[in-house]
Amino acid sequence: MQNIKDEKYLKEIGARIRSIREGKNLTQVELGVMCNNYGEQIGRIERGKFNVTVCTLKVIAEALGVKVSDLVDPI
């Protein structure tokens, strides 16, 4: 079970992914294709509704051309 702090952190990670994705003019579906994933799952990750694995974060980071730390480190 997630606690409220985990939910907040997942939303922060999702917001970073969304910001980088939008900065590269990619849709959720396009990013999903680049990650061999579904756009719906990218949407759940961006909304903080999915507790993403480290391996999935690595794939997303590579597709976006950033480091995993860019996605998870607090700003």
Q: How many CA atoms, within 13 angstroms, populate the side-chain half-sphere of residue 29?
A: 0
Looking at every residue in the chain, the average pLDDT score rounds to 90
Greater model confidence, 73 or 34: 34
Predicted local confidence at residue 74, as pLDDT: 65
Kindly report the pTM of this predicted structure. 0.89
Contact partners, residue 21, CB within 8 Å, separation at least 6: 28, 31, 42, 46, 64
4-72, CATH topology level: 434 Repressor (Amino-terminal Domain) (1.10.260)
Domain boundaries, the chain: 4-72
